Amino acid sequence: MEYNSQAAFEFKMRFRPRGHCYVNHEKKQMFVSIPKTGSTSSNELLRKHGFIIADYLTHPELHSYYTAVVLRDPYQRFLSLSKKYRYIFRSDDLSTRREMMINLLTSIQVSGKKLDMHYCKAVILLSDKNRDIIPVNKYIKLENIHELPCAFGIEEPIKHLNQNIKFKKIAIQFFDENKDLKEMVVDTYKEDKILYNSVFGGSF
């Protein structure tokens, strides 16, 4: 079967607006939801406790709310996105897989804001109209997502939902065998890695 990598990628990419967040206006709290950082679990919990969907780009007054964000190591986040780009692994030809992955990563690098939200860099999803990162009161590592309810004064523990194992294992093996493409992933999300290290410590 012939694969048109660009067409396949464009089919998967859907424009979604930045500024997507959950807010509790009564308590003046905001959570910026970044895909593949436990967002399904977080969003479900917050909706149960008075949070509604909002847009911090069109409502800058939300920037004064107490804000929490969950961050994940960018490379690990991309691995977790593997269900999104599983079409790449349908080809048995390694050169085709490599070409399709290069096209995907190149498109992420050049497409900027016009991305399926899942592929967007965290620094883009956390930026205002001036491309400045909005004020964040508490950053939480994904590994410590159990701290999120406490950050908003919620006593109910967070449940772990929507875990992707099958395609992640395939992606890990692919990048282990193609170190240059792993480096391309790291380079594509280098701004996210800088943010991650600046918040939690570590080197690039």
The model's pLDDT over 142-195, given as tens digits with 9 standing for 90+, comes to 999 999 999 999 999 998 766 668 889 999 999 999 999 999 999 999 999 999
Q: How many domains does the chain have?
A: 1
The terminus-to-terminus CA distance of the chain in angstroms comes to 40
User: Rounded to whole angstroms, how far apart are CA atoms 168 and 179?
Assistant: 16
CB 141 within 8 A of CB 74: no
Per-residue pLDDT band at 47 (split at 50, 70, 90): very high
Q: What is the structure's pLDDT at 141?
A: 97
Residue 189, classed as helix, strand or coil, is: coil
What is the span of the domain harbouring residue 67? 5-200
- pTM of the full structure: 0.85
